[in-house]
A and B are shown apart, each in its own frame.
Chain A
Amino acid sequence: MKRLWFTLALLIGSLTACRDAFDIDLSERPITPGKADFTTYVALGASLTAGYQDGALYRSGQQNSYPAIIAEQMTAAGRKGLFKQPIVDSEEGGIVVSLDQIAAKPDLLPPSVVRKIKEFAGTSLLPSFISEMLKKPEIAIKLLADLLSTYRLRIFDDLFLPKYVLTQSEDGRLLPQRLPGPGRIIIENIYKSQGPFNNMSVPSLKSYGFTEKGHIDITRPYFSRMASASDASILGDALKQNPSFFSLCSDNDVFLYAVDGGIAVDGVAVYRKGDADVASYDVHDITDPDVYERSINEILKQLTDAGAKGVVLNVPDVTRIPYFHVIKWNGLELTAAQAQAANASQALQSYNHKLDVLQAAGEIDDAQLRHVAFRAGHNPYLIEDADLKNIHFETEIPTGSGKDPIPIDLSQVRPAQASDLLTLKAAEALRGLASWNGGHLPALFVLANQFVLTKAERKNVEDATKRYNDAIRSLADQYGLALADIHALLSRAVKYGITAAGNTYTSEFISDNSIFSLDGIHCNSRGYAIMANEVIKAINATYGSNIALVNPNDYPGIAFP
């Protein structure tokens, strides 16, 4: 009997040894900043850092910006106070095109824009043109929209339009479409009422723009909302807050070049390698890598001199975003009859003939490359390639009974190749063309330069991206800062997907598993959460802090109607 009691005692003893808790209970683990100090965190960047998504800056998008997510997680590791962002007062986004503002200060417009408007309005001078527009606002909006699309005025294009939402067409297809009408955000300075701002990110900002003073004008509307003074600089306003920690992401220097297919406001954009004269840059030009390095160095130097520690994000490979992978280069489907008719058309016959003549005369050597012959099935789209020699070949396509023929310019045209990337905006253009043409695409049309990132243009993008990232790596090293490899993160998402608690996130366009928003360029909130995790991991690894990550699934994805 004694033995029995002994055994019982042993059993009860071993039972109580089974503690009802984890070996290391993470909920009780102290969160430490390590060697960093997160008291005041300031984020610097462009649209990606501002929380831009669905082609606009809007309230809930900003609230889920990656700096906002990081800041929330940093709070347990010693961050103090509210993390203030210049939140816009709209869920729809887009800036109200303030005609009053333009009328009052026409000199705020870039000269090239003024020139285009003058061309458009004929002999009338700008102020009178604008006062005409003000009298008829509906016509003015239409006119501006035409101006935008005709003259590719980049600054108006994205910033001034409300966000994309997913809409269902009659045949059931879910397509992203911008909300109708003009933008919703009235630009007014909110520094006095709400500032200073911890998220100092300004959409469309370039590396050399952080230190530039002023720019409280319509070319940088989002900075004019948050600037402390009319001669303030973004870096200056950041430094004023005595940041103990910062993040810096300057991803915009190669970005507009890529998404607008290498066009400029005035013609063709250029990779400004070796050209430090930033005043002469078009907004689409690729920044000189030396300028990029000097600009980043200046920012990091000033911030670290002021005692801040921080994290630098490198530049993702913009050619991997879904924006370039929705439309395939050879997506033009033709029947045998359509192909035959196009091949037999006067326009094509004379075009192909002219190529042969020019080649024989030694004036061009790429007739083969430009030669157009359609066949049944998948055909490459015809694209405008500004790197081709201009052969001045404009012709007309007859549209039949009584209608005017359509002019077509084949001066710098070739069939697309697998290495050419067509933009998401080409998809919109193709849809428009098809509906105009009675539901299907015609055979003979040209996708303009702005819709195509050619192989040569991709090379420029790749070269600049690589040089920027080399600079970022060595500068992060030099200043002892954390480096978040967003470039590798995007590659991983594209190649393998990124898993998060049962979900695999990819770079697919329009999917509940996508990290991208409806513009195909910027992340959605889940993508920003994944970015935030990558940045937090880099901070933890460098400074020995242990900021907790977030679950990307807890953030909103694309909104389905």
Chain B
Amino acid sequence: MACIEARELRKRFGGTVALDGISLRVTEGHILGLVGPNGAGKTTALNAMLGLTPYQGELRVLGHDPWTERDLLMRDVCFIADVAVLPRWIRVSHLLDYVAGVHPRFDRAKAEGFLTKTTIRLTTKVGELSKGVVTQLHLALVMAIDAKLLVLDEPTLGLDILYRKQFYDSLLSDYCDGSRTIVVATHQVEEIEHVITDLVFIDRGRIVFDSSMDGLESRYVEVLVHPARIDAARALRPMHERQGIGRRALLFEGVDRQRLAELGELRTPSLADLFVAVVGDHAGQAQEAHR
């Protein structure tokens, strides 16, 4: 079943095109990574899905129209739209009271259980906590909500590496159960590499890459080519080429593995390299076309 179904989403801010016809389908139980450079339209796309911004095009999230039915949608959707957006003036115990009061699927005991694993005390005010700890608190709240869809927009931006790692670790161990759908947008690809099941690259309001992680491993191969065989390798039309240590790393899409194996050592490309290959080239081409 499709959790999110978007067709030809468009959005302009004055003269700037933020979404330039995005079509996307997220299936239940999948964890989608939405990766793009700053200003690519990630946040706008997520805001449209969460009913925070109006849009043109067709969009259904869990069968709801997000813009007109945000409150209904939020019974089944959770989101962390930015780092540390919890109100600074509120006491942690009041925060739990409030969410328990308004959210039918919030399990207060579960949230308090998560909090005992942290240094957060119920009498503390959010403003007294550091940014990383506020994120822990927000994640504890969100994980205690039995939602069908969780949307995360740069949830760890500006946090130190310990909190960033912990964030995704607890998400994987305490939240993901195979039936929940998660959409996470970030420009730090390496962070979500081992979390996601599907990957979308978005650049200047368009989807420039869309693949499952399984498909990605069979379709894309990076070959560390020995300098002597570089011409033969280039003849197979690599999508990207970069300098490795002593050898050049060429990235191929859909080329027979046996042929590539003759050229050098094969490996699965990292998402960062794939991102540079797809978005970097895309941006490069656009710049050339501009000239």
> Does A associate with B in a complex?
no
Q: Chain A interface (Cβ within 8 Å of chain B)?
A: none
